[in-house]
Amino acid sequence: MDALSDVLRVSHLTGGVFLHAEFTAPWCMVGRIGPEHCAPFLGPASHLILYHYVVEGELRVRVAGDGEDELLLGPGDLVLLPRNDIHFIGSDLGLPPVMGSEIIQPRKDGSLYTIRHGGGGPPTRLVCGFLGCDSAESNPVISTLPSAIRLKAEDGGSAEWIRSTFQYAADEVAAGRPGSETVLAKLSELLFVESVRRYAETLPEGQTGWLAGLRDPYVARTLAMFHRDVARSWTIEELSREVGLSRSALADRFTRLIGAPPMHYLANWRMQAAAQKLRNSSASLAQIADEVGYDSEAAFSRAFKKAFGAAPATWRRSTGVVETGIVPVPELVRQ
């Protein structure tokens, strides 16, 4: 398993689509997604990632707090908002914005929310959706993403088949045909992964952080080994031999890019993997301990309590994940 896939798997991404919007120029809207809009389509999640997909027309996007930076989107383009920040979208962002909550229309007979708004000029149609995920703040990928990521239709490549299918499903949603929301939900998860990969490819030289580490052959191979076999009793000597670098050079390189020494990163990731198993499986503590690299349940419990402030059994009973989606997580590597 490659490291990026493993990190995103543990985040437990779940996609959904909640809104079909039709705007006509001139228009400008401000808002952010609320948990109440996702509740009919998604179970509890500790974090929401919003996206807008342009079916027809064009629009501009600006995230609050990002100055005057705007993104221009055309047909087939998608913008992801990994932090679910307040943002402005419209044909002209200089116009006084209307609140999204003021123009959104309630669902009817299990259909999507809808918006129809604007001045009667050239049309723009959107499908808006979300990805729910666990433990975003401590996830080494999601926690370091920018406020907005754009995936352009002209980029082509491996995203093209996903996008073309997404376009078809978006048209089906707009036409009110049942079942298309489920297709879009799964495709949105694939588009998110593709967007993260594209973002990683465009990082400038000298950038640090987990995604930048994937571009360094020694660090990337170390991460791959950790995530492929988290239970293995790795040592820095074994890692340095496997990647073909001295122990000190590997430790320095890994720490500079990832922000923590290799063995510290591994210990933190074992706790993330254990928490995911506690949340989403009925495996025994002894089984989970073995699966994340601990020789005994007692050693695992001590490490988990140090990271989370509670013993695994207590944490499993008291987190209230099923009811609230709120997941306390240990401090992990940040960019």
**C-alpha atoms less than 13 angstroms from C-alpha of 135 in its C-beta half-sphere:** 30
Per-residue pLDDT of the chain (335 residues; tens, 9 = 90+): 488 888 888 887 887 777 889 999 999 999 887 766 676 666 666 688 898 989 899 999 999 988 778 999 999 888 999 988 999 999 999 999 999 989 988 777 666 788 999 999 999 999 888 888 877 777 888 888 999 999 887 766 655 666 677 677 767 766 666 666 677 777 778 878 888 888 888 888 888 999 999 989 999 999 999 999 999 999 999 999 999 999 999 999 999 999 999 999 999 999 999 998 998 888 999 999 999 999 999 999 999 999 999 999 999 987 654 333 333 333 333 33
User: By CB neighbour count within 10 A (0-12 exposed, 13-18 middle, 19+ buried), where does 20 fall?
Assistant: buried
**C-alpha atoms less than 13 angstroms from C-alpha of 62 in its C-beta half-sphere:** 18
Is-contact 27 118, C-beta < 8 A?
yes
User: By CB neighbour count within 10 A (0-12 exposed, 13-18 middle, 19+ buried), where does 89 fall?
Assistant: buried
Q: Which pTM value belongs to this model?
A: 0.78
